[in-house]
């Protein structure tokens, strides 16, 4: 059982703000360049802080990375929140799809899903990181599932459908699409993958649909 260093047990509001400021800078840099190619010195420059501040708030770079995972998850889910909230009908899914495609088209040079990239880089390197990322995906998946269950409750989605797996398939397709999009520099993979997912959901719909 390793002893965990735990700095900054008592954070004043000012300290907390500083900490989160550093974290934001780190998240941006890591999204752009990856974990390994982001040095803490770069984070310090970008956040206009100094070494001692950094190590005052974080035990080491690994701890920082774990926190970056957390806030990137929050960012992604936060960005999707308005859509995920209302993801309870086929037209809503369609709008969600369009919003994502638009996002990807806007910056397909940039690069993929922040969470997906972290997962790829960290999954078989740190068990802590992997677990955290797995639960990020799980939260994401379940928030899609929730909408599907609503549809099922209202009788729009067949009772025989499996919202859990349906949601997993949608998220999986999206992640694959984002990876291929950032590699091929086109949004097509995201489009075809999401369209396939929506048709897949549609296939489990009943006759009883809401009027548009």
Judged by CB under 8 A, which of 138, 139, 153, 210 binds a second copy?
138
Judged by CB under 8 A, which of 45, 79, 134, 139 binds a second copy?
134
For DNA, the closer CB: 35 or 169: 35
Please name the residue ranges forming H helices in the chain: 13-33, 40-47, 51-57, 61-85, 90-106, 114-122, 127-153, 163-184, 188-202
- Which of DNA, a second copy, none has residue 189 at its interface (CB below 5 to 8 Å by kind)? a second copy
User: Applying CB under 8 A, does 109 fall inside the site for a second copy?
Assistant: yes
Say if residues 198 and 93 touch (Cβ distance below 8 Å): yes
10 three-state secondary structure: coil
> Rule CB under 7 A: which of 5-44 touch DNA?
8-16, 18, 38-42
CA–CA gap between residue 123 and residue 38 (Å, rounded):
18
User: Applying CB under 8 A, does 72 fall inside the site for a second copy?
Assistant: no
User: Applying CB under 8 A, does 120 fall inside the site for a second copy?
Assistant: yes
CA–CA gap between residue 173 and residue 196 (Å, rounded):
8
Q: What is the DSSP letter of 4?
A: P
User: Applying CB under 8 A, does 193 fall inside the site for a second copy?
Assistant: yes
Closest separation between CB of residue 143 and a second copy, Å? 15
- Which of DNA, a second copy, none has residue 134 at its interface (CB below 5 to 8 Å by kind)? a second copy
């Amino acid at each position: 059982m390793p002893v965990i260093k735990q700095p900054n047990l008592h954070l004043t509001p000012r300290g907390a703000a500083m900490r989160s400021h550093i974290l934001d800078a780190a998240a941006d840099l890591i999204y752009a360049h990856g974990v390994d190619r982001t040095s803490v010195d770069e984070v310090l420059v970008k956040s206009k802080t100094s070494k001692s501040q950094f190590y005052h708030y974080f035990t080491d770079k690994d701890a920082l990375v774990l926190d970056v995972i957390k806030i990137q998850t929050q960012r992604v889910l936060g960005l999707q929140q308005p859509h995920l909230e209302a993801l309870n009908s086929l037209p809503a899914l369609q709008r969600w799809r369009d919003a994502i495609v638009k996002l990807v088209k806007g910056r397909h040079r940039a690069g993929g899903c922040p969470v997906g990239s972290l997962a790829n880089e960290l999954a078989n390197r740190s068990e802590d990181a992997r677990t955290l990322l797995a639960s990020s995906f799980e939260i994401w998946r379940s928030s899609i599932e929730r909408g599907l269950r609503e549809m099922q409750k209202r009788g729009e989605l067949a009772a025989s459908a499996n919202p859990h797996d349906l949601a997993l398939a949608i998220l999986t397709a999206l992640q694959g699409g984002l990876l291929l999009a950032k590699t091929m520099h086109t949004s097509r993979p995201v489009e075809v993958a999401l369209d396939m997912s929506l048709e897949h959901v549609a296939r489990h719909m009943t006759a009883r649909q809401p009027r548009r």
